[in-house]
Amino acid sequence: MAKKQDATRVVLPGQDKKYELMLILQPDLLESATEKKLRDFEQYLEENGGTVDMKDNWGKRKLAYKIGKFDTGTYVVYNITLPNDFNQELDEHMRIDKDIIRFLHVSVKDDYNYTKFEEEKVVEEPKKEAPSAPRKPTTTHRASSREKTTTEIKDKGKKADAESLDEKLDKLLEGDDLNI
Amino acid sequence: MAKIIFSTNQKFALGKRRCTFCTNQMTDIDYKDIGTLKHFVDGFKKIKNRYYTGVCLTHQKKLANAIKRARHLALLPFTN
* Closest chain A C-alpha to B8 CA, distance in angstroms: 17
Sequence ranges of the domains in chain A: 16-107, 142-174
pLDDT band per the 50, 70, 90 thresholds, residue A91? very high
pTM of the full structure: 0.70
Amino acid at B69: R
pLDDT on residue A170: 83
Assign B73 to helix, strand or coil.
coil
Q: ipTM strictly over 0.90?
A: no
Rounded Cα distance between A8 and A5, Å, is 9
Q: Are the beta carbons of B73 and A22 separated by less than 8 Å?
A: yes
How many residues are there in chain A? 180
Q: What is the mean pLDDT of residues B32-36?
A: 91
- The CATH H-level (homologous superfamily) assignment of domain B20-72 is Ribosomal protein S18 (4.10.640.10)
C-alpha angle B76-A35-A55 in degrees, rounded to nearest 5: 60
Are B40 and B63 in contact by the 8 Å Cβ rule? The answer is yes
- The strands making up A100-107's β-sheet, listed across from edge to edge, are A51-67, A70-83, A16-25, A100-107
Residues of A in contact with B30 (CB under 8 A): 115, 117
Question: DSSP alpha helices (H): ranges in chain A?
Answer: 31-47, 87-96, 141-159, 162-174
Q: What is the pLDDT of residues A11-25, one digit of tens each?
A: 788 889 999 999 999
Residues of B in contact with A19 (CB under 8 A): none
Q: Are the beta carbons of B74 and A104 separated by less than 8 Å?
A: no
The average confidence (pLDDT) of chain A is 82
Sequence ranges of the domains in chain B: 20-72
Whether A115 has its CB under 8 Å from any CB of chain B: the answer is yes
Assign A50 to helix, strand or coil.
coil
- The CATH H-level (homologous superfamily) assignment of domain A16-107 is Ribosomal protein S6/Translation elongation factor EF1B (3.30.70.60)
Contacts of B57 (CB under 8 A, 6+ apart): B50
